[in-house]
Amino acid sequence: MFSIVIPTLNEEKLLPLLLNSLTRQTDKNFSVVVVDGRSKDKTVEIARSYETKLPNLQVVISPKASLPLQRNLGAKASTGQWLAFVDADSILFPQFVQRIQSFIETAHPQLFTTWCRPDSEEPGDGNIALLYNMVLEMSIILHRPFSPGPLTIVSRDVFAELGGYDETRGYNEDVDFSIRAHKKHIPFNVIPETLYVWSLRRMRSKGTLKVAQQYIVSALPVLLFNRSLKYMPGYVMGGQSYKKGKRLFRSEILKRYEKKLKSLVKEFLE
């Protein structure tokens, strides 16, 4: 039912964490397509080593490194009724597939994502992820919804209707995808449940302030003109530019984080 598409470029350090999380899924009704952008490290070798652990896994080599191109190639190579585009530095919780399938059966969405938590237990990282989830909710209210790059789930029919991702873009291809969906009156939903881990390695490596400034600059055209930037100076795809971040997972912290988020969303919506 689901095809999980993972674009990669020099992700030998973090890709195993994502693939391991897929081997632990409580629902095995999915296939995996890793689309590599000509990595210089052992990313492809590592991905292929999971073919026995994930029998429905295939590795596709892209002509070049490009997020929109690699996502489109993954969609083309996949067979699932639903496409889940996941960044290589994300991690999916064991109940991920089970919960999104339940959501599809009950809510009948067409395009959606879920809440996330950060990849560390630093208070600052928690606040960033909390704000990120709130922005997702607010974007729907403001009629400026966006399907985030780290995790976007879309039906194959809608993906085909939109023509996939714009391969001419070097940045904001996910925002552009959302804008085109909104113009076609395709609703965007957010599952109010934390189902994946969002990597904040870019902020740790480049600096939180610098990355936040990039986000603000890219958000203004969307808010004011419902258009997205096509390029962002300094934006580089791939794991070669980042230091390995520290990832710690404790269930009690996750529960407190999700409880706080639900309380904030409830207060905002009321």
Whole-angstrom Cα distance, residue 133 to residue 63? 34
- 9: which DSSP letter? S
To which residue do tokens 């089970």 refer?
A: 98
Model pLDDT, residue 247: 45
CB–CB of 94/16 below 8 Å?
A: no
Q: Which residues of the chain have pLDDT under 70?
A: 206-270
Model pLDDT, residue 249: 47
Strands 91-92 and 111-118: unpaired
Model pLDDT, residue 230: 66
Model pLDDT, residue 270: 55
Phi and psi of 237, rounded to 5°?
Answer: -85, 145
The closest of 66, 73, 88 to 173, measured between CA atoms, is 66
Model pLDDT, residue 204: 77
To which residue do tokens 């480049």 refer?
A: 206
Model pLDDT, residue 268: 47
